[in-house]
Amino acid sequence: MPRPPRRIPTGTEAHTQLETSTPSDPQPPPRPPWIFGRILAGFIVLLIIVAGGVAAGWWIRSQSARVATPEVIGTTSPEITDVVGRHVLKTAGPAVVRVLGTTCAGTGEGSGALIDGETILTAASAIRQPLSIVIVTPDYRIRRANLLGTSADGVAVLRMVGRLGNTLPLAGTGPDPKADRVLVGYTASAKETMQSIGSIAKPVVLSTVMNTAELGGPVLDKSGQVIGVVVGDNVKNSRIVGVDKLRGYVARGSTAITAELGSCRRSRGPQSPVVPELQVASTPLAAEAQRLLAGYFTLQNRHDFQAVQSLYSEKLARSLDVERDSKGHQTSYFFIPKVTDVTPTETDGAAARVSLNVLFSPRAKGAEGEACRRLDYKYDLVREGGKLVIDDVDPMSPMRGCDAE
């Protein structure tokens, strides 16, 4: 179980010219009004008004359709944006989850589909040889999951500990080759996104509209049913496994998937940067503390313990050297940190309170069979050489499981 880094902390000018003249000859009588000209001018004005209204209506409908989706990226048709986007928000979106893991060989990060309240489909590349896995819902509920097995074509089947009500149904049959499809998943910054990927007959190249964290994301038809899952070792080699195969993988007692558990002493989670969310006013001091803690959590997750030393005070670096820091974080992964308070200190430093989650191996020292805990720490930050560094850390409340409501 990882310990905090405390003492031993696991115009131009206008010109007008008037001309007058006195006619020498009598003037002809005035011409009567040209009725047809007035009618023609009025008709032209009417056409302009109608055209403007049509354009404005199209613009409004276009914007409304886009607002109806979590995020529209890449090549998105108006039909998909309007029909599927609204459905995704109402039903499919809540059942698309983030998949995080501390693994021996995987990336530790992907998207997934919760299909029956407890079964999740994702990409095997995200959780290859896992020590521990969690899923995170769009409303930040965290649940532990176990790997049931992986398929030869790169699909992983997980079973969640407990149940959730939001589900995504598997389509009964394969899609119409000419029907539009969408991919739903997450970015590395945990933002849920939706991309049109065309039809089977006219597909969009996946690597042009997605990122690594979307591997494992479900492919949906216009009714919001799962018709495939995106898999691959990387975005460049990504592909879609269709629903006909997926049904076989989730069947009870399926022989089409095999277990792939990890046994390494050191494992890692996702390597993308982790930036704490500021839940306080973004003052200069709070922003500086946020940058410091972002560097700390990111380097810890990358196991770059030598670089972490530059973020410690001289006092802390003496008590928590590289070797000791490494031993305390062999399998840990910090995620979803939130800065809940930043208080200035008399020494031009700060006390930053942070709530966060840590994923680790259930066999780690002090884990006691658990794999994920919620932490509430106060980081004492001091100023050395003109910059904030971490000097100490104190727990503010007892640790608890990540799935505790």
Q: pLDDT tens-digit profile of 35-69? A: 545 554 555 544 444 444 434 333 333 333 332 33
- Residue 49's pLDDT is 44
288 and 244 within one domain: no
Indicate whether 281 belongs to any domain: yes
- Residue 367's pLDDT is 83
193 and 100 within one domain: yes
* Token code pair at residue 368: 């006691």
Indicate whether 108 belongs to any domain: yes
230 and 168 within one domain: yes
The secondary structure of 168-229 as a DSSP string is: -PBPSSPPPTTS--EEEEE-TTS-EEEEE-B-SSSBPPGGGT--GGGTTPEEE-TTS-EEEE
213 and 100 within one domain: yes
Q: CATH no. for residue 166?
A: 2.40.10.120
310 and 233 within one domain: no
Indicate whether 242 belongs to any domain: yes
Indicate whether 386 belongs to any domain: yes
- Residue 32's pLDDT is 52
110 and 235 within one domain: yes
Indicate whether 37 belongs to any domain: no
Number of folded domains in the chain? 2
- Residue 343's pLDDT is 97
Contact in structure between 328 and 2 (CB atoms under 8 Å): yes
- Residue 23's pLDDT is 41
366 and 326 within one domain: yes
* Token code pair at residue 178: 């000419």
pTM more than 0.85: no
Contact in structure between 121 and 278 (CB atoms under 8 Å): no
131 and 234 within one domain: yes
238 and 289 within one domain: no
Please count the other Cβ atoms lying within 10 Å of the Cβ belonging to residue 41.
11
Q: CATH no. for residue 318?
A: 3.10.450.50
Contact in structure between 161 and 143 (CB atoms under 8 Å): yes
Indicate whether 353 belongs to any domain: yes
Which regions in the chain score pLDDT beneath 50?
A: 6-28, 34, 36, 40, 45-79
Indicate whether 22 belongs to any domain: no
Q: Domain span at residue 361?
A: 277-401
288 and 236 within one domain: no
Last residue of a domain, one of 215, 250, 285: 250
For 3, 69, 119, 140, 319, the CA distances from 169, given in Å and listed in that order, are: 41, 20, 11, 22, 53
- Residue 83's pLDDT is 55
- Residue 117's pLDDT is 86
- Residue 230's pLDDT is 97
- Residue 332's pLDDT is 94
214 and 308 within one domain: no
149 and 220 within one domain: yes
Indicate whether 264 belongs to any domain: no
Last residue of a domain, one of 250, 265, 298: 250
